[in-house]
Structure 1
Amino acid sequence: MVDKVVRLEDAIATIDDGDTVCVSGFVGIGTPEGLVRGLQDRFLAHAAPKDISLLFAAAPGDGKDRGLNRLAIPGLVKRAIGGHWSLVPKLGAMAMNNEIEAYNLPLGCISQLYRDIGAGKPGMFSKVGLHTFVDPRQSGGAINDCTTKPLVELMELAGEEWLFYHAVPVDVALIRGTTADRHGNITMEREALTLDMLPIAIAAKNSGGLVIAQVERIAANGSLDPKQVIVPGNLVDCVVVAERDEHHQTYKTPYEHAFTGRMKADVGQPVPMDLTERKIIARRAAMELPVNGVVNLGIGMPEGVSAVANEEGVIDNITLTTEAGVLGGVPQSGLDFGAAINANAIIQTNQQFDFYDGGGLDLACLGMAETDATGNVNVSRFKDRFAGAGGFINISQNARKVVFVGTFTAGGLKVAINDGKMSIAQEGRSRKFINQVEQITFNGAYAASQGKEVLYVTERCVFKLGESGQELIEVAPGIDIEKDILGQMDFKPVINDVKEMDPSILGEAPMKLRTRLLAIPNSDRLFHDKQQNIVFVNLSGLTIETEEDVRIFEHDMNSFFQQIGQKVNLVSNYDGISISPKMAAKFANVLGQLEYDYYLTATRYTTSAFLRQKLGQDLKNRSISPHIFETRQEAAAYIAANRSD
């Protein structure tokens, strides 16, 4: 067989004028820095290749000079199609200045599109991007005026709107691994992520293109464990051994065992965040964390939620994820973003987005650069600065609940906290709550029409999304609504019942969040909507391990319903509930007694398929109708259709 290990210069010489070059990488993880630098050097020396097209999902770059920033040279790039752009600002500037054709498509859609390109399909259908700037009814993802060829089409299938993302044939794929043999088999044991190396390679090979891989070492032929081979040699044309300083695990960290899962690190005691507006926002957002739920935290402000969860001792009661493919562990930030210490699993990026798009996320906590009265959010474009959407659209459209976080104003904001009250020492120069966002990265009206639960959390107040737009629901102690909130907005939100934000958010001491999330008094789990005669029961985090737990639950529930004095319709949330197998029958007996004595109709919902099956069977065994749904909306809709008044 041919020895595929070649010099960098020989590998890069295979790239021709006008080729479409797909580049792997998530920030610095998996970014083939040596190959990209080699392409830069060749163009500077020989003015070739010219007019290439770049295809990338997650902005391989450091925000300065590395990664695709190296290729921002007039004449080298003609077109760029990318998911995240903020870390490739030099390329982004060329796009904003109409120097290159440029598109911004959702990161997850590009990642998934690699598979369809490889499968020889004409493109991919997705609902992700509907009613955002990616929708052809807005800009179709085009960044500038010189970008005219449509890559996204609006289509109707079975009476529903879908977006069709056109396939982009790949001429050259630049990928990265850890070890290769001379036949081109690639493993990734020292990489922090596996990303989309295999789909990218298949996309190039089945497009009739070339695959060039950067690795840090060469192994003897036949010595690699076949189960560890991520990209098989039949897909690889050239292998280049990288210089040591061009193959760091991330742009920040040369190598960390705990990023790979090869070792569990002792993370020690978390260092508490300083009590600033950042921590105040993170604390309020952390109160929305779903017990035993799956969560995605965006980059920037949302990263503080992870720190608060760690500080408050609830990090083990949620599964944090990153769109790069990490599940569990402690996600990292900055130029380590995408990696995690002590992850439970690391899967391909396209697989992670399959999970996200299908509704696997219980909560997404994302940044909020600017928002308007209808609840639209923009995080992607601001006048002459272009960041791109990244995975934001996939995540915000498909998570069951979304919490947007950000300061109320930007640019110089300073808050003061005295005696448990907040005051604005210096207001920010720029408003974030404006009449109309510059670009729609999240469509509030579309989300509201789907019944999605959405919060907008700032240091001084909280809004929720409703059918009429944003509604002010909480205000921090010490904040004046007229002066500090309405006086700093371009629109007036809906104002009904405004509550005070929990004062513990402003204290130096821990909030005792673990107790709040895991030990909710039964009395706080029950709410009677008298107008609709519906009782909403939140059993999230309830633990039933002993007969005493069953007895307390039975007593508290009976006391509540006896006080109402009439039968009611019931909607119960069973997400995150833990029932000991020994107590399951006794717990079901209590549910049966409650239904017989107090309920007109009863529906239950949980995202746990196992719990739906187990609880449903227990109720059937007691001749109780087991109306158990996956979401609160489904349960409430059933009540509305079958309610007995």
Structure 2
Amino acid sequence: MGLDKEVASAAGAVADIPAGASLAVGGFGLCGVPGVLIGALLERTEVCGLAVVSNNCGVDDRGLGLLLREGRIARMTSSYVGENKEFARQYLSGELEVELVPQGTLAERLRAGGAGIPAFYTPAGAGTQVAEGGLPWRYRADGGVAVASPPKELRSWGGREYLLEEGIATDFALVRAAVGDRHGNLVFHSSARNFNPLAAMAGRITIAEVEELVEPGELDPDAVHLPGIFVQRVVRVRPGDPAAERHIERRTVRTALVPEQQGGM
């Protein structure tokens, strides 16, 4: 592959993602979600049966929730799923397989997969059903458990138990960055930095949508959060694209204080 990794359109960037592919998707809530790439994949109605790894599955009408609503996701590996009613419905009715993973463990599994580390030991989950197995991954339509989590290998060091977790590598990864260059070097803004770099590392083919595309050499090397070696395709977000809009997951406001409440006269 040449050093110039820019792809002309999001549709072109996701054109070879097949049905049944595994995807690592960046974002945290609605922060740093690659909405343009998700929208392009949504247009490819034949792409279904996806196995998605992401911190959460968006909300009912945003982010990965759009793919979920259309029945395109067969399996989710996530940490937090509490903002999506359709997710709960599909899971409890047996339509969706779900592996819930402690958030720090999920982050490290993605990083490990990207670094070529097949597995690692962690104390997170030791002494719980995460280690013992039996957590419902998929329900039957009658409410019984169709697929349960397996037990995990345990070892002790220094009198403390640790369980073995496997690294995660996926066929593709979709991420969103604030700034990127044509070589695939990426800079993420604030909280969007949490899962996006890890998802990018885990993907064998990583596609990045960037809000600002600059020429190679314009980024300060010390400011780069993810080097281009982990990125195969870059798509510039077009101004005015509705899929690129930023949304607030939970808008919290307070009533304006009158002068007396502010300590004024």
TM-score range, shorter chain: 0.7 to 0.9
Number of the residue aligned with 1:102: 98
Match of 1:26, as an amino acid?
F
Number of the residue aligned with 2:76: 80
Q: Give the count of matched residue pairs.
A: 243
Provide, for residues 44-68 of structure 1, a one-character-per-residue CA deviation record: whole Å limited to 9, x for no partner: xxx12x31101012x152x331011
Counterpart-to-counterpart distance in 1, 2:102 and 2:38: 23
Number of the residue aligned with 2:88: 92
- Residue 2 of structure 1 deviates from its aligned partner by 4.2
Number of the residue aligned with 1:27: 29
Number of the residue aligned with 2:183: 183
- Residue 187 of structure 1 deviates from its aligned partner by 1.7
Query: 2:182, 2:216 within 8 Å by CA — same for their partners in 1?
Result: yes
Match of 1:38, as an amino acid?
A
- Residue 134 of structure 1 deviates from its aligned partner by 2.4
State the secondary structure of the residue aligned to 1:3.
coil
Number of the residue aligned with 1:120: 116
Q: Structure 1 residues 28 and 103 mapped into 2: Cα distance closer, same or farther (>3 Å)?
A: same
Q: Structure 1 residues 119 and 181 mapped into 2: Cα distance closer, same or farther (>3 Å)?
A: closer
Match of 1:199, as an amino acid?
L
Task: Find 1:215's aligned residue among 207, 210, 216.
Answer: 210
Match of 1:42, as an amino acid?
R
User: Normalising to structure 2: TM-score of the pair?
Assistant: 0.81
Residues 325-364 of structure 1: pairs in structure 2 closer than 5 A? 334=250
Query: 2:136, 2:149 within 8 Å by CA — same for their partners in 1?
Result: no
Query: 1:101, 1:146 within 8 Å by CA — same for their partners in 2?
Result: no
State the secondary structure of the residue aligned to 2:53.
strand
Number of the residue aligned with 1:157: 156
Match of 1:169, as an amino acid?
A
Answering whether residue 5 of structure 2 is matched by residue 4 of structure 1, we say: yes
Residues 409-558 of structure 1: pairs in structure 2 closer than 5 A? none
Q: Structure 1 residues 171 and 214 mapped into 2: Cα distance closer, same or farther (>3 Å)?
A: same
Answering whether residue 41 of structure 2 is matched by residue 39 of structure 1, we say: yes
Provide, for residues 480-505 of structure 1, a one-character-per-residue CA deviation record: whole Å limited to 9, x for no partner: xxxxxxxxxxxxxxxxxxxxxxxxxx
Q: Structure 1 residues 118 and 141 mapped into 2: Cα distance closer, same or farther (>3 Å)?
A: farther
Counterpart-to-counterpart distance in 2, 1:146 and 1:154: 22
State the secondary structure of the residue aligned to 2:193.
coil
Answering whether residue 187 of structure 2 is matched by residue 170 of structure 1, we say: no
- Residue 85 of structure 1 deviates from its aligned partner by 0.5
- Residue 78 of structure 1 deviates from its aligned partner by 1.9
State the secondary structure of the residue aligned to 2:109.
helix
State the secondary structure of the residue aligned to 2:132.
coil
State the secondary structure of the residue aligned to 2:174.
strand
Match of 2:163, as an amino acid?
L
Moved more, 209-218 or 81-90: 81-90
Query: 1:30, 1:195 within 8 Å by CA — same for their partners in 2?
Result: no
Counterpart-to-counterpart distance in 2, 1:165 and 1:177: 28
Q: Structure 1 residues 214 and 141 mapped into 2: Cα distance closer, same or farther (>3 Å)?
A: farther
State the secondary structure of the residue aligned to 2:170.
coil
Query: 1:127, 1:162 within 8 Å by CA — same for their partners in 2?
Result: yes
Match of 1:30, as an amino acid?
G
Match of 1:99, as an amino acid?
E
Query: 1:29, 1:192 within 8 Å by CA — same for their partners in 2?
Result: yes
State the secondary structure of the residue aligned to 1:135.
helix
Query: 2:110, 2:169 within 8 Å by CA — same for their partners in 1?
Result: no
Answering whether residue 219 of structure 2 is matched by residue 224 of structure 1, we say: yes
Counterpart-to-counterpart distance in 2, 1:192 and 1:115: 17
Counterpart-to-counterpart distance in 2, 1:154 and 1:235: 30
Structure showing greater Rg: 1
Q: Structure 1 residues 192 and 82 mapped into 2: Cα distance closer, same or farther (>3 Å)?
A: closer
Structure 2 residue runs of 5 or longer lacking an equivalent are: 140-144, 253-260
Match of 1:186, as an amino acid?
L
- Residue 143 of structure 1 deviates from its aligned partner by 5.4
Counterpart-to-counterpart distance in 2, 1:196 and 1:78: 21
Task: Find 2:17's aligned residue among 15, 18, 30.
Answer: 15
- Residue 198 of structure 1 deviates from its aligned partner by 2.6
Query: 1:100, 1:146 within 8 Å by CA — same for their partners in 2?
Result: no
- Residue 18 of structure 1 deviates from its aligned partner by 1.9
Q: Structure 1 residues 68 and 97 mapped into 2: Cα distance closer, same or farther (>3 Å)?
A: same
Q: Structure 1 residues 232 and 95 mapped into 2: Cα distance closer, same or farther (>3 Å)?
A: same
Counterpart-to-counterpart distance in 2, 1:335 and 1:69: 19
Match of 1:123, as an amino acid?
A
Query: 2:108, 2:167 within 8 Å by CA — same for their partners in 1?
Result: no
Q: Percent same amino acid at aligned positions?
A: 26
Residues 598-613 of structure 1: pairs in structure 2 closer than 5 A? none
Counterpart-to-counterpart distance in 1, 2:16 and 2:88: 26
Query: 1:103, 1:147 within 8 Å by CA — same for their partners in 2?
Result: no
Larger RCO: 1 or 2 (CA < 8 Å, sep 6+): 2
Number of the residue aligned with 2:60: 64
Match of 2:125, as an amino acid?
G
Q: Structure 1 residues 193 and 168 mapped into 2: Cα distance closer, same or farther (>3 Å)?
A: closer
What root-mean-square deviation, in Å, do the aligned CA atoms of Structure 1 and Structure 2 show? 2.5
Match of 2:53, as an amino acid?
L
- Residue 193 of structure 1 deviates from its aligned partner by 3.6
